[in-house]
Chains A and B, each alone.
Chain A
Amino acid sequence: MRKFNLRALLALGLILAAGFGFWTVYNSSGPVMSASVSSNGAFAITAHKDRKLILWDLEGHNRKIISRNANIYSAYFIKHQPTFLWQDLDNTVTVQSVSGEIKTAFELHKPTYGNLMTQDLGTYYYSDIGWGLYRRTVEGSTETLKAADGKAFLGYHKLFNLTMDESEQWIVSAGSGEPKGFEPPYYRSLQEVLDEGADYQHLYNVALWDLETGQPTTKLDGNSSKTHAAISPNGQWVVSADENGKSFAWNTSHPKHRMRNAGYAGLFIEGLPDDLPAKKYYDKSKFIDPPKGTHAFTIAVAFIHNSEYYLRFGNNSHIAALFKTGSPWPVKYFDLGESPELVTYGSQYDRNTAIATSPEAGILAMGHKAGGGISVYQFDPDELALERVWVVE
């Protein structure tokens, strides 16, 4: 009898352990591929490599699996709305509130590789595997702003990054910088890019799009290799940085005027003659020495406090540099924490959308290099501090 009870107990234990294991696996998630934070900083939505879509309550420190069938690059919070959108693997885009109410849903004819939506939930912008840029109106018609170029995403292993300003007048796109030529004007003009491929098929580098006309107004040159860029919420600034460590800023009122940002060796002075000692090329007058582990090769930039401050994330680094718009100098460096390793490790340009901010609320949410967790940070503009407030491993 006693023996029988022991066996039954053992079997029950095994069943419970297996059940717990199954439950754990069922609820765990793969690494974050795309993320977006609500404007008020209360929520984040993340799409994961295992196709889970998770809504995070950043204040209540809870999470909820919304779908197990989500496009990994489709998570997006609509600005100033308690509403996010995502696409399922049948290409249906769903716009729903955090409480679960479906606002609208429509079908696309292709999977998205990054998307945005206007605050009135009317116009939907998205990219595809070929770094195309499209606009879908509320009536359901689709317009090609930039034509796709083969499967550029697979070629570069990088997303065609898109950001939109608050007034929804501008979109900034960034794929890969154009190497500088030997002779002035050094870079191809917008017209030359258009001549090379209809609908700006080859417009890879940072570009400012006027959403009223649906045309790019300026090609923002200077970066090379894989490039990330962002537009400030007020639409006044575009900031960029790239895989070769170059970073620039433009005021959208004077987009022809390019401002170079300091790297971690100082501010490079352009236009000097050749063969000067290397240190002569760098201005360090207002330079703050970076901590060990700060890498110039950049994986992403993101505004963290309105249109005033933005962060620059180095590849293979857990240090982020804080910059103020209008100034080329780093203001401060933040240690984002070595453990767990962040998505910034491993040259994961195909996951740079796993870094998301709410500039209004000063919230930064980031995926991790491995595992489905996130790290959440709160920026304090008065103290210029960035505190890690929640880590889910």
Chain B
Amino acid sequence: MTPTNNLPFSPSTAPLGAHGTPVCKHETASVLLRRVDNLLRPRALLNAGSIKDESGKFVTAEPQNGSEHTPDNAEARFTQLVTGNARWHWPEEQEGEHLIGFDTLGKQLRFRPGQLLGEGVKLTVIQGERKATAIHLPPPVIINLREAAPASEDLLTDEQLKYFRENGNNALIFMHGYNVPHGEWGRLGWHSNKATAWQDPQTVNDEYLNGAGAHNWAVHMEYRLNRAAGFDGENWMPYSRIINVSWPGNTGSTDFMQAELNAMTAGRRLAPLLLQLADAGIAINLISHSLGARVALTALNIMGAMGKRDLVDHLFLWQPAVADNALTNDSNRDVHPLGLGVFPNAHKAARKIVVLHSRGDGILGPDSSEDDDWWWRVISPVSWAAVKAWDIATADDPMDEILGKLRGAYDKKWWTFPSFLDNGFGPAIEKLYKDYLPLTYDVRMTAHPQRSLATPGVLKQTILDNWKRLEKDIFAEASALWQPCIDCLRNGERPPDYTLLAPLNHRASVSPQVARDYVLRLKKLAVNNWFPEKPPRPALGYVGLEEAMDTKSDNFDRFISSLIDKDEIDQVNQSTWLHSHSGMRIPTRELFAEVYQREIMKNQLLANSKFGRY
């Protein structure tokens, strides 16, 4: 026989039926379709879709039994197909497992999620049985810490855990920032299928394609991190899923204190997930944005207090909306009136903390470019309003614009003016202690004795009684939860949340002594009508560690200085690359190259840890 490769032409591999034989005379054949993920692990094929064969007939596969991910369930057989050209159409990807590849003998097709959703995948049905493999992305991973849920729902499923173990034995957890709703997935192009992977919004708006709220952040961050690690944007085989934490930071644009309380509750719930990954021997890396830093630092502070040293490889604090001395180990340096400004044990649980800060962040600090704007607003209020409306309408991050015009919203977080906004400490504290109100004396409550419920004397007594009751209940909560918190964390279980002591949820447990100190702080704040004596420390995401390193400043922190000297903290000044608080969601080419690619991936993750299989 003449070897095939010596022929002067390429013989057709298409079956005879495709060349002139009447369709009614075509032979019938079958296709054995196997489904795998991009780790080439068999995946259950419960609904294999349909194949439209040469005759135009739609053939469905024999259904499989069960939903287990076993090799048996990963295959489906389409029979009675007419040989010739055909197209495979697959069903909606319920779990967001997008089709990214289709392999037949000698041919490997690769495509973007949703690329062939409408037209289907071409294949040739040949005599006998054709074997084909459909490759899907693994489903996305979102840990929803917004609503109350059983502790098991805060953890990864066995299947998810297995994925991260087999995908390079590492997991990256991303925590979004302040004022991000849960949102939903976008749509795959013009189809109704939900999209869990990034699509280029060249002609359609970003929210439609890439989702809203925490889902939008998840899609963008996951894609950028993959690209920075080496993913070329075309072949999705090495694409790695990350763990996205959705937490309730959307408390309105001014109730920052409530968002801080929510962040700490979420961080507390996140701690067992870290233990779950660590116990499975999976390397952990964390990236937080803005107030997401408080979620991450709470979890690490609790882990550090429990003696879990070097539990995670890296914590990247990207534009962290926490105090610039948040990493100190000295609680006495905390200027927060309720003692929730620092995370004294967080550094222990991370091998390296990387602070990514920028003076170009108009939310965390007064961006210099806004000084001119401020004066302009005073001299030309009408035109300012019109232009601002346009700025907000056209901004990539409208909330950045809205908050940014407060000339550094972060350092106004303790403001109590104007009083019609839910700003400052009052609204969050009064919500927390709503069963104990009033806790402060307001003369207006007795201004009209005929209409008021209280005379000054009665009101004062009521307030004293409320404080006595609150104090007693706070101490009772501290005593009741002190040991259970420690026991839970030792067992890798979710620790109980503090309710009355919610501002101390960043602590592993609250001792009676700490509870007493808290009550004193609370009373001091109440006497001052919820207005703190000291302004907040500047945001870490704005100033970095410059002031904490200034030996002649009152803010000098020798401990933070030692962490830098020990190379346990690296900081990256992004002022020349990052010009808005949320600019990393849709980065400029420069920001992507300098921060995602170099500072996060090349210098840290890929050098010392791992990201997926890169």
Q: Which A residues touch B575, using CB under 8 A?
A: 347
The tally of residues in A whose CB lies under 8 Å from a CB in B reads 38
Q: Which A residues touch B609, using CB under 8 A?
A: 182
A246 touches B565 (CB 8 A): yes
A281-B552 CB under 8 A given contacts A155-B590, A243-B573:
no
Question: Which residue of chain A lies nearest to B602 when distances are taken between CB atoms in the complex?
Answer: A202
Question: Does A87 have its Cβ within 8 Å of any Cβ on chain B?
Answer: no
Question: Does A214 have its Cβ within 8 Å of any Cβ on chain B?
Answer: no
A182 touches B551 (CB 8 A): no
Q: Which B residues touch A282, using CB under 8 A?
A: 558, 562
Q: Which of B565-614 contact A (CB under 8 A)?
A: 565-567, 570-573, 575-576, 590, 593-594, 598, 603-604, 607-609
Question: Which residue of chain A lies nearest to B329 when distances are taken between CB atoms in the complex?
Answer: A278
Count contacts between A and B, CB distance < 8 Å. 83
A263 touches B572 (CB 8 A): no
The tally of residues in B whose CB lies under 8 Å from a CB in A reads 35
Question: Which residue of chain B lies nearest to A292 when distances are taken between CB atoms in the complex?
Answer: B552
Considering the chains assembled together, what is the distance between the CA atoms of A156 and B603 in angstroms? 14
Q: Which B residues touch A296, using CB under 8 A?
A: 549-551
Q: Which B residues touch A316, using CB under 8 A?
A: 546
Question: Does A255 have its Cβ within 8 Å of any Cβ on chain B?
Answer: no
Q: Which A residues touch B604, using CB under 8 A?
A: 179
Considering the chains assembled together, what is the distance between the CA atoms of A265 and B545 in angstroms? 14
B603 touches A179 (CB 8 A): yes
Partner of A263, one of B313, B351, B561, B593: B561
Considering the chains assembled together, what is the distance between the CA atoms of A293 and B551 in angstroms? 9
Report A346-385 CB contacts with B as 1/0, cut-off 8 Å: 0100000000000000000000000000000000000000
Q: Which of A142-178 contact B (CB under 8 A)?
A: 150, 154-157, 178
Question: Which residue of chain B lies nearest to A314 when distances are taken between CB atoms in the complex?
Answer: B550
Q: Which A residues touch B550, using CB under 8 A?
A: 295-296
A347 touches B566 (CB 8 A): no
Considering the chains assembled together, what is the distance between the CA atoms of A184 and B550 in angstroms? 31
Question: Does A306 have its Cβ within 8 Å of any Cβ on chain B?
Answer: no
B551 touches A265 (CB 8 A): yes
Chain A: minimal CB distance from B228 (Å): 14
Question: Does A326 have its Cβ within 8 Å of any Cβ on chain B?
Answer: no
Question: Does A252 have its Cβ within 8 Å of any Cβ on chain B?
Answer: no
A268 touches B607 (CB 8 A): no
Chain B: minimal CB distance from A330 (Å): 12
Considering the chains assembled together, what is the distance between the CA atoms of A157 and B590 in angstroms? 11
A281 touches B351 (CB 8 A): no
Question: Does B268 have its Cβ within 8 Å of any Cβ on chain A?
Answer: no
Chain B: minimal CB distance from A268 (Å): 4
Considering the chains assembled together, what is the distance between the CA atoms of A279 and B567 in angstroms? 16
- The DSSP consensus for interface residues of chain A is loop
Question: Does A91 have its Cβ within 8 Å of any Cβ on chain B?
Answer: no
Question: Does B412 have its Cβ within 8 Å of any Cβ on chain A?
Answer: no
Partner of B567, one of A156, A179, A274: A179
Considering the chains assembled together, what is the distance between the CA atoms of A156 and B598 in angstroms? 11
Chain B: minimal CB distance from A14 (Å): 31
Partner of B562, one of A178, A182, A268: A268
Question: Does B224 have its Cβ within 8 Å of any Cβ on chain A?
Answer: no
Considering the chains assembled together, what is the distance between the CA atoms of A316 and B571 in angstroms? 17
A291-B313 CB under 8 A given contacts A154-B590, A179-B567, A181-B607:
no
B567 touches A265 (CB 8 A): no
A279 touches B558 (CB 8 A): yes
Q: Which B residues touch A295, using CB under 8 A?
A: 546, 549-550
Considering the chains assembled together, what is the distance between the CA atoms of A222 and B73 in angstroms? 54
Report A291-324 CB contacts with B as 1/0, cut-off 8 Å: 1111111000000000000000000100000000
Partner of B565, one of A179, A268, A293: A268
A225 touches B571 (CB 8 A): yes
Question: Does A30 have its Cβ within 8 Å of any Cβ on chain B?
Answer: no
Q: Which A residues touch B348, using CB under 8 A?
A: 274-275
Chain A: minimal CB distance from B327 (Å): 12
A265 touches B561 (CB 8 A): yes
B562 touches A264 (CB 8 A): no
Identify the interface centre among B562, B590, B609: most chain A CB within 10 Å of its CB. B562
A278 touches B558 (CB 8 A): yes
Chain B: minimal CB distance from A239 (Å): 17
A244 touches B571 (CB 8 A): yes
B552 touches A225 (CB 8 A): no
A224 touches B562 (CB 8 A): no
A347 touches B573 (CB 8 A): yes
A155 touches B571 (CB 8 A): no
Chain A: minimal CB distance from B314 (Å): 10
Q: Which A residues touch B573, using CB under 8 A?
A: 225, 243, 347
26 A-B pairs with C-beta separation under 8 A: A150-B593, A155-B594, A157-B576, A178-B603, A179-B604, A181-B607, A182-B351, A182-B352, A224-B570, A225-B570, A225-B572, A244-B570, A244-B571, A245-B561, A246-B564, A246-B565, A268-B562, A268-B566, A278-B329, A278-B562, A281-B566, A282-B562, A292-B552, A293-B552, A294-B552, A297-B546
Residues of A within 8 A of B (CB): 150, 154-157, 178-183, 188, 224-225, 243-246, 263-265, 268, 274-275, 278-279, 281-282, 290-297, 316, 347
- 14 extra A-B contacts, CB within 8 A, seeds A155-B590, A295-B546: A154-B590, A179-B352, A180-B567, A225-B572, A244-B570, A245-B564, A246-B565, A278-B559, A278-B561, A279-B558, A281-B562, A292-B552, A316-B546, A347-B575
Enumerate the 4 nearest inter-chain pairs by beta-carbon distance, A residue then B residue, closest first.
A180-B567, A268-B565, A278-B559, A292-B552
